[in-house]
Amino acid sequence: MFRNWRIGSVNGAMLAAYFIPAWTLVAFNIIVAPVHGLYERPSVAVALFLSDHLQMAGMETVRAAWLLALGRLTVVAFLAIYLVLLCMPRMRRNGGSDEALGIALAIGSLISFASMVMASKVGEMAALRLHATELLLLLGAAIVVVIEKPAAAPKTSEIAAPPSLQPLGLEQAELLHNR
């Protein structure tokens, strides 16, 4: 059963095991109470940056919080799709699930990088460490996916067919008067 598992598949599954519950919980906290959820530890750097540097207040902050929650839920959705595709052996063998993982890694890296930059601007060191760790996890998985290619299909040797069974030139039908 474990013969066709690649390192990238296992790495992506472990990454999904962390990001799906963690980012779903953060996103739902933001959806339920946008301002309160935005000022919790995983998103406090974004909230401080929005209020201090961009001077957003009221409804703009709520919209930005919902946009952050939507981005996190998008990453969670693509990681869930990746896990579903990973359960299919044929998709796993030929790397068909890597596209969903790649999209999740790209969006997640963008969110983590932006959050890390915002945390460094406002001086929130705990949030900076959290976002830097998440960014390193995502970038490490991206490197593994890019470097590790799916195994090539085994080459089959073709035996020459007798002349009567070989395909016709230019795919034309053989007529009786052309013999």
Give the model confidence (pLDDT) of 46-101 as tens digits.
999 998 888 887 889 899 999 999 999 999 999 999 999 998 888 877 778 889 99
Return the pLDDT at 8.
84
Given a cut of 60, whether residue 105 has pLDDT beyond it is yes
For the record, the structure tokens of 7 come out as 């390192």
Band (pLDDT 50/70/90 cuts) for residue 5 is confident
Please give the residue that has the higher pLDDT: either 176 or 148.
Answer: 148
Give the model confidence (pLDDT) of 106-135 as tens digits.
999 999 999 999 999 999 999 999 999 999
